[in-house]
Amino acid sequence: MLNITMIGCGAIGVAVLELLENDAQLRVEHVIASAGSEALVQQRLASFKRPPQVLTALPADARPDLLVECAGHKAIEEHVLPALERGIACLIVSVGALSELGLVERLEAAAARGNTRIELLPGAIGGIDALSAAKVGGLDSVDYTGRKPARAWKNTPAEEVCNLDAIDQATVIFEGSAREAARLYPKNANVAATLSLAGLGLDRTRVTLIADPLSEENVHHFEARGAFGGFEMSLRGKPLQANPKTSALTVYSVVRALGNHAHAISI
């Protein structure tokens, strides 16, 4: 059985735990919650048959097989970096955090010192294997467009661009680099950051973000061109009911990655 510690127990974390509850090869022993939220997290977990223990930090003597970050950007600084130093392998969902200058290098250095590794999860996007392979032969361009329901852009800089409650058609709220998209829209731009790290990098990947009041889906589309030829991919993901900023596929991506670590055959 694989012993897992999960950072965060919001919409993504709870959904992951629900899907893992009956998997005999995967066991989430601990959930790390932010200080002051322990009681709320315990309440969320009360209905589980085998609820994880709720902590606010990884104990000094704890050695989980995997640490899974499902908590947002702050958790990488607070929990992932120290875990890597201790030799604990980490899976990261909040890939958009890696747009912060120097953070990728710090993670690599911490993993090297701990003789362990980091796995960046594709989350709501597919085709990362093909894009990474294309990079080997030489990429010329990667263009990504993210389209989400207007309500998914609430409490973001999109509110300075347009009235999200009043628009009646698809409206472009951002055009620029993936680095700038991830900085301005950290809870919505993980896909852009993931494509960048697999392909041309944060500064050369072009991003367009759209608020669409007529859509009930999170639509991700990207095109890649290079020495290999070209391809494009579109995914129409249903948003998590508990959080419209997140695609349900992100949850399934976490469960798939954990299964690949625990099961005899991975793909």
Q: What is the pLDDT of residues 146-155, one digit of tens each?
A: 999 999 899 9
Give phi and psi for 174, each to the nearest 5.
-160, 140
182 is in an annotated binding site: no
Report the 3 state secondary structure along 164-222: CCCCCCCEEEEEEEHHHHHHHCCCCCHHHHHHHHHCCCCCCCEEEEEEECCCCCEEEEE
Supply the pLDDT for residue 238. Answer: 84
Tell me the two tokens of residue 173: 């709220």
Q: Is the pLDDT of residue 30 over 90?
A: yes
Count the Cβ atoms, other than its own, within 10 Å of residue 254. Answer: 23
Mean pLDDT of 27-33: 94
**pLDDT confidence band for 73 (50 / 70 / 90):** confident
Catalytic residues: 220
124 is in an annotated binding site: yes
The CATH number of domain 128-246, selected from 3.30.360.10, 3.30.310.10, 3.40.309.10, 2.130.10.10: 3.30.360.10
* Closest by CA position to 64, among listed 107, 16, 22, 26: 26
CA distance 194 to 16: 20
**pLDDT confidence band for 206 (50 / 70 / 90):** very high
Q: Please give the model's pTM, rounded to 2 decimal places.
A: 0.88
CA distance 144 to 232: 10
Mean pLDDT of 205-222: 94
Q: Please name the amino acid found at residue 195.
A: L
Residue 150 per-residue DSSP state: G
* Closest by CA position to 146, among listed 239, 231, 256, 70: 239
**Considering the domain 2-120 in this protein, what is its CATH number?**
3.40.50.720
Domain ranges of the chain: 2-120, 128-246
Q: Is the pLDDT of residue 244 over 80?
A: no
* Closest by CA position to 201, among listed 99, 123, 108, 128: 99
